Structures are given as structure tokens and as C-alpha cells.
Amino acid sequence: MKYIILSLVIIQFFTLKAQAPKYSNEFLHLGVGAQAFAMGNAVAASSEDVTAGYWNPAGLTSATEWLQVSAMHSEYFAGIAKYDYVGVSHSLGKKGVLGFTFLRFGVDDIPNTTQLIDNDGRINYDNVTTFTAGDYAFMGSYAKALAVPGLSLGGTVKVIHRRVGDFAKSWGFGLDAGVKYRLNSHWKFGLVARDATSTFNAWIFNLSQDMQQVFLSTGNEIPTNGLELSLPRFITGIAYNHSIGNPEKGFNIAAELDIDATTDGMRNTLIKSNTFSLDPHMGIQLSFKELVKVRGGVSSIQQFKAIDGSSSWGVQPNLGLGVGIKGFNLDYAFTRLGAAEAGYYTHVFSLKFKLSQPKKK
């Protein structure tokens, strides 16, 4: 399996210069927090904790605790690929809220078989080494409530580092911006501009003469240093919240619909064109106070192709559960990647802590 991953990594990273900007830095759009995963990542309007630094920085204004800390771990493709997240937010009172987000998506211990056959034409497994392909993001956010009641604004600066062993690496820079408006106790609206000014990654390749010869002998172009761009993506969210029965009993239902508008050409989404594509996703949550929350959602409404060439419409289902006790939250999500027959199901766990300011002695 890891030999297959090696081939995929080489194709993905060593042909970047020849690719259009579509799907650039796609690891930044996987999502964070099991709560969001369970709701189909439809949280642009309702995210109001430390994870808002990723989803919509304007939502950080609701993270009024002195400190919030969140962490998540998930694995894909039978544990070969690992995805990790850590987030921190700090309230400055009326001055606003600061946030920091760290992301890593990586595949470790990938066999490098480019030197498997030595100069004498013999297979020599001692020449097989391993390397790591990893994507990293460091994101700093700031949010502040505006003079208009219910309106807040936020922004995120992100630094991106992507690395493929010693063969290739890149550094990138980008900006996200978000706005959120709470109309009343029921309705919330959110708008996020990711890669608002376009995000760039400057790639540098360091290929040995032997590896260059492998590229030439297999009919592949030798990659050269270049610039990769991520075009803007706009996310619109509408959230509704309502108490079930007597509000004092604590039962509540919340739902949200988000629409992602990408500007890098035609994608495999519900609504698509040569200029932009629209990808709707939605989620619902039933809760009893802050103690127990049950979630579900649908996302990735797209066409899936079978081996025989036929295609059919499908969705990515998402389910989850959350429990919370005195500032501590444990969330779980069960979701899927790709078509149902592929069987790429994954479990996502995340933790969140809310801490008060230490008392001065």
C-alpha cells in the first residue's frame, strides 16, 4: 500500500508547476473539530469557540473565556495518512479575541524506491529509504465586535509549509477574512473569504542526478521551481437555533446550511461551471443543555464514477456525538471519504477546554 502512496505523492507534488491552481492547498479545507465534521462542516455562521479561528475568524468574539484550547486527531486510508489540529484562543475583553491554529496532514515512512535497481541492474532492497510528505499550516487570527449590535469582523494570517522529504519544499502566505451577524436569538449569518487575496506557495525542488534520470527514463518532465496559487473561496452560512418546548428544560435544535463558492474553475459539485462551482452542505444538532449533543450532516454532493464508466450522484454522510462537563468537551464524528463502495470511513475525536484567568495571589 505504501508503494502506491509513494506513486501518488510523486504525481501530486512533482507536477505542481504544470497543474492549474485547482485543488491547491486542499488540506486546508478538510476541516477541524469533530463537532464540525459531524455537521457536514456547515458551521461558518454558528462556530463560536476556539475552532472559529479556522472556520470563520469573526466567530471568535463569542469565545469570551480567558483561554480556550482544542485538539483533534484523525487518520485516513487505514491509518497511513494522519491529520492533526491544535487551536488556542485568548480573550482580550473589549479589545477583541486572539486565536492560533496549527494543522498538519502527513504521510510518514514512505518507501523511496527510485534507487531500488542499482547501476548493475540488480534489485537491491538495501537502497530503499523512507521519507515523509507533510503539509503544515500556522494561522494567527484576530476578531472584534463592531459597533452594530450582533456584528463582528475577523481576519486570519496563515503561513503554509509543504515538504516532500528532501526532494521538494515550499513556503506560502495567505489571508482569510470573515464577518458574522447575529440577527436575534434564532438566526445567525456568516460570510468567509478564504485565500481572499489568493494564497501562494513558492516551490523549490532538490533532485539528485539519479532521481532526474529516473524521471527522464519514465517519460516524466523534471520539475522546476515555481509558484502555485490558491484562488479565493467564499463560504456563506445561515444558521437557525430554537428551543424545543419549555426553554428551561434545556432541549434545543440547531441547523445550518453553508454554500462554498470556489473560483478555480469547474469542480465535481452540485452546481458547476467553467468559472465557479457551488458546493452546498448542511448539518443539524439536537442538544440537552451543554451535556449531550447528537449531530448529523451531509456534504460533498457530487457524482461518483464506477469501474464500468457509469456515474451516479452521492453524498458524504456524517454522524457525531458530543458531551460536555464544566468547561470540558469531548466530541466524536464518524464520516466517510469518497464513494460508499470505497469504504474510506474514518473516526474523528476532538477535545476542548475552557479556562478562566488564574487568580492573582
Beta-carbon contacts of residue 138 (< 8 Å; ≥ 6 apart) = 100, 101, 102, 158, 159, 160, 161
Write down the pLDDT at residue 3: 41
In a domain, 154, yes or no: yes
Give residue 110's region: left, alpha or beta (phi > 0; psi -120 to 50).
beta
In a domain, 360, yes or no: no
Write down the pLDDT at residue 247: 73
Beta-carbon contacts of residue 98 (< 8 Å; ≥ 6 apart) = 60, 89, 90, 92, 140, 141, 142
Cα separation, 187 vs 131, in Å, equals: 49
In a domain, 187, yes or no: yes
Write down the pLDDT at residue 283: 96
Mean pLDDT calculated for residue range 11-33: 65
Range of the domain at 223: 2-355
Cα separation, 44 vs 176, in Å, equals: 13
In a domain, 209, yes or no: yes
pLDDT band for position 149 (50/70/90)? Answer: very high
In a domain, 311, yes or no: yes
Q: State the total domains in the chain.
A: 1
Report percent pLDDT > 90 for the chain: 53
90: number of CA atoms within 13 Å, CB side?
Answer: 6
Q: What is the pTM of this model?
A: 0.84
Q: Write phi, then psi, for 134 (nearest 5 degrees).
A: -135, 145
Longest distance between any two alpha carbons in the chain, whole Å? 81
Span 280-338, pLDDT tens digits: 999 999 999 889 999 999 998 888 777 787 888 888 889 999 999 988 999 999 987 65
Span 188-217, pLDDT tens digits: 999 999 999 888 889 888 877 767 776 777
3-state secondary structure of 138: strand
Mean pLDDT calculated for residue range 37-63: 95
Q: From the DSSP assignment, how many helices (H) and strands (E) are in the chain? A: 4, 17
Place of cell 523511496: 112
The residues facing 84 across adjacent strands are 73, 104
Span 172-188, pLDDT tens digits: 999 999 999 999 989 99
Cα separation, 301 vs 339, in Å, equals: 11
Cα separation, 76 vs 74, in Å, equals: 7
In a domain, 243, yes or no: yes
CB-based contact 303:297 (threshold 8 Å): no
Is the pLDDT reported for residue 359 higher than 80? no
Cα separation, 337 vs 222, in Å, equals: 32
Cα separation, 279 vs 144, in Å, equals: 29
Beta-carbon contacts of residue 361 (< 8 Å; ≥ 6 apart) = none
In a domain, 361, yes or no: no
The CATH number of the domain where 78 resides is what? Answer: 2.40.160.40
Span 239-252, pLDDT tens digits: 999 998 777 778 99
Cα separation, 145 vs 140, in Å, equals: 18
CB-based contact 225:205 (threshold 8 Å): yes
Helix intervals (H) in 82-223 = 209-217
Nearest to 45 by CA among 313, 283, 269: 283
Rg, C-alpha atoms of the chain: 22
In a domain, 200, yes or no: yes
